[in-house]
Structure 1
Amino acid sequence: MKKLSFLEKILFFLNSIIATVLLLSYLLPFISPKTVPLFAILSLFVPFLIIMNIIFVVYWLIKLKKQFFLSIIILITGWVFSSPFYKLSSKNSSLNNDLKVMSYNVRTFNYFKWNKDKKLDQKEIDLINEENPDVLAIQEFYNSDKINFTYPYKYIKTKSKKNKFGMAIYSRFKIINKGSLDLKNSTNNIIFVDILKENDTIRIYNLHLESLKINTQKENFGEKDSGKLIARLGRSFKKQALQTEQFIAHEKQWKGKKIICGDFNNTAYSWVYHKISKNKKDAFIEAGKGFGKTYNYWFPMRIDFILTDETAIINKFSTFSEKYSDHFPIQSKINW
């Protein structure tokens, strides 16, 4: 520290704080939001903390200062023990009998006009039709008359018979069973179908865990009082924890092949992801490349996932870049 200028000492102090917070964030997957809900908020910002530590490493290397060791050691620790922030290489193989699965939070096909583009809903539909997945899982679904999918089988679950908002699963393969977990005190839900592909029965879960209701377009995430914002986020994370426990209890009853996809409203550094992904394969980790960004925010946030049982083979994973929603669609080719 003696060779550092006054400004560099301040920068290293900030570096030390950010590096320490990142190190503490590695404990997040093991702490239930029901125990410390405020700590769970940190899981959203782990990508930002990683980026800041990378910037500090580059800065100290340019300055030829040994202080770069602090951040680089913590970054390496995260690379080894936590979910990857960036994938350098991808897997891009394909078999004729792969199951092509897409998950997409369509933001109600722009029903509430969050975007002024009047053709945005049709652009989402056209993208889906062009990709033509075998199984399509949609969150924030709106049952519009414009939907012209050609799937022979579907399961649409709305909050009530008169309500057109909910979730949907479309399939080219016969649906022989379907159901809903009917999450209590929530506008979100978890649904599932069992499809028959040749001689295999495969369960498809579509998850949309509790929304954080963060408005990224407004100052302080749309909340004037930061205390109220933190309290609201804490309640949402608690709900996510309860919903995760409900899902895991339901999932344990199924012993066959399965795919879990959807919008978790939390990152790969969270307790929620850690619990749901246990003993499963993450399609992005197995076959993806880059940041795997699925939420349209200024730093990379991966909150949408496709997971499979451990016997599955992930042949391909893609994240799309079309900004037709606040989420980007993800797609994977899966086999067994």
Structure 2
Amino acid sequence: MKKLSFLNKIIYFINVVVALALLLSFVLPYLPPKTFAVLSVLNLGVSLLIMLNILLALYWLIRVKRQFVLSFLVLLIGYISYGSLYKFSSSKDIENEDNFKVMNYNVRLFNLYEWIKEDAIETKIVDLIKTEAPDILSVQEYHPHKDINLSFFKYKFEKLSGKKTKYGQAIFSQFPIINSGSIEFPNTGNNAIFADVVKGNDTMRVYNIHLESLHINADVESLKNEDSERLLKRIGSTFKMQQFQTELFLIHKEQCKYKMIICGDFNNTAFSYVYKKIKGDLQDTFKEAGSGFGRTYNFKFFPVRIDFVFADEAFQINGFKSYTEQFSDHFPIMTTLALKE
């Protein structure tokens, strides 16, 4: 430190803070938000913290300074514990006659309130789904818009709420649905639904989960105008609700004896407590077969992955696709699965 210039001492101080914040974030999936609500806010910034630590490590490395070791070691711990933030190539793209595709998409009410200033967004969403032809479609913030026609799916289950504007979650399927239902979350329009789907001689349970929203504007400029203390308390409160909703879901999940696929918008990242609890021993299809950042939410300054498709060990994961079409504040994701023999 003595040999560092004044500017580099300031940069190293920032480096220490950023590295410690990232190190702390690696512990958060094990800490329930009900007890550590404020700390849980770090979940949302893990991607940014990783990128900052990479930049700082490169900064010191270019200058041949041993200070690069700090961020390097923290990043190494993160890589060993959680894998890479960025996947350089898809590990799987396997053709199989038993393949079927599962898409998850938060459609944001099909742009009912014209958040996106573009004509016929609802039609473009439907066209995208029809072109990609998933066999099972899990939709959050679904709204039975008059111009929406998803009749190319043979079966569906939807659970709607709201007095004037009906909205909720839906599952569409090309395979027969023999049972379905909803897990109600108190004091919110969010919930989880399920459909038991028959493919050949096998019955699969498909869950569609929509955890409590953070109600954060994706525009950073808008965030600057919010009171930071109030924002942190609101996010902490939301994380507590997400934990409670997750506990309700897990009670229901434990009673299921079928092969299982879990889709949803968790409104939280892969570094969160709720992600860890819901995933359990299931496979994260992006980690198994995806590439890139796997970004699913349109946040301007760093990639955020808050939408997921999990599959249990009965499934072979033969592919994963992330989309960039901006017809919602979320991007759809789709995985290709096959039942193991």
Tell me if the contact between 1:216 and 1:222 (Cα under 8 Å) persists in the aligned partners: no
Matched with 2:180 is 178
Q: Alpha-carbon deviations, 1:304-332, whole Å to 9, x = none?
A: 00001122110001110111111110000
Which residue number corresponds to residue 92 of structure 1? 93
- Aligned mates of 2:236, 2:275 — CA distance in 1: 17
> Residue 83 of structure 1: CA displacement?
4.7
**Offset of 1:2 from its aligned partner?**
2.2
Tell me the alpha carbon deviations over residues 259-285 of structure 1, each in whole angstroms, 9 at most, x when there is no partner.
001100000000000101111000001
Per the alignment, residue 114 of structure 1 pairs with: 115
Name the counterpart of 2:327: 324
Q: Helix, strand or coil for the counterpart of 2:184?
A: coil
Counterpart of 1:151 in structure 2 is: 153
Q: Does residue 1:335 correspond to 2:338, yes or no?
A: yes
The structure-2 alpha-carbon separation of the partners of 1:163 and 1:222, relative to structure 1 and needing over 3 Å to count, comes to farther
Quick one: distance in 2 between partners of 1:226 and 1:284? 33
Residues 295 and 327, structure 1, Cα contact 8 Å, conserved in 2: yes
Per-residue CA deviations over 1:47-67 (Å, capped at 9, x if unaligned) read: 000000000011111111111
Q: Identical aligned pairs, as a percentage? A: 49
Question: Following the alignment from structure 1 to structure 2, what is the Cα–Cα distance between the partners of residues 43 and 10?
Answer: 26
Quick check: 1:215–1:222 contact (8 Å CA) kept in 2? no
2:258 paired residue number: 256
**Alignment length (residue pairs):** 336
Whole-Å separation in 2 of the counterparts to 1:317 and 1:114 = 28
C-alpha distance after superposition, 1:94-143 (max 9, x if no partner): 21221200000011100011111122111111101100100000001110
Cα displacement (A) at 1:218: 5.8
Residues 28-76 of structure 1, C-alpha deviations (whole Å, 9 max, x = no match): 1100001111111110000000000000011111111111111011101
Q: CA 1:32–1:141 in 2, change beyond 3 Å: closer, same or farther?
A: same
* Cα distance in structure 2, aligned partners of 1:222 and 1:67: 32
Q: Distance in 1 between matches of 2:179 and 2:121?
A: 33
State how far apart, in whole Å, the 1-side matches of 2:295 and 2:240 are.
25
Contact 2:218 2:298 survives alignment (8 Å)? no
Unaligned 5+ runs, structure 2: none
CA drift of 1:224 comes to 3.1
Q: How many Å separate the matches in 2 of 1:221 and 1:200?
A: 48
| Matched letter for residue 310 of structure 1 | E
Q: 1:233, 1:160 → 2: CA distance?
A: 24
Aligned partners of 1:259 and 1:161: how far apart in 2? 31
- The answer as to 2:17 corresponding to 1:20 is no
SS at structure 2 position matched to 1:37? coil
State the match for 2:212 in structure 1.
210
* Partners of 1:83 and 1:165 in 2: CA distance: 36
Q: Which residue of 2 aligns with 1:49?
A: 49
1:73-102: CA deviation from partner (whole Å, max 9, x where unpaired): 110110001253111231111212212000
Between the aligned partners of 1:82 and 1:286, the Cα distance in structure 2 is: 13
Q: Distance in 1 between matches of 2:225 and 2:269?
A: 22
**In structure 2, how many angstroms separate the alpha carbons of the residues matched to 1:221 and 1:208?**
23
Q: Could you tell me whether the CA contact under 8 Å between 1:107 and 1:326 is conserved in 2?
A: yes
Who is 1:101 aligned against? Answer: 102
Stretch deviating more after TM superposition (114-123 or 202-211): 114-123
Do the aligned partners of residues 245 and 294 (structure 1) sit closer, same or farther apart at CA in structure 2, a change above 3 Å counting?
A: same
Give, in whole Å, the separation in 2 of the partners of 1:240 and 1:258.
21
- One of 227, 241, 257 as aligned partner of 1:225: 227
State the shift of 1:220 in Å. Answer: 5.3
TM-score, normalization by structure 1: 0.97
**Matching of residue 127 in structure 1 with residue 128 in structure 2:** yes
Supply the RMSD in Å over aligned alpha carbons.
1.3
Aligned mates of 1:279, 1:192 — CA distance in 2: 19
Equivalent-residue separation in structure 1 for 2:265 and 2:115 (angstroms): 19
Aligned letter for 2:146? D
CA–CA separation in structure 2 for the residues paired with 1:161 and 1:110: 18
**Structure 1 residues without counterparts, runs of 5 or longer:** none
User: One-letter code of the match for 1:170?
Assistant: F
Distance in 1 of aligned mates of 2:70 and 2:126:
48
Q: 2:307 aligns with which of 299, 304, 309?
A: 304
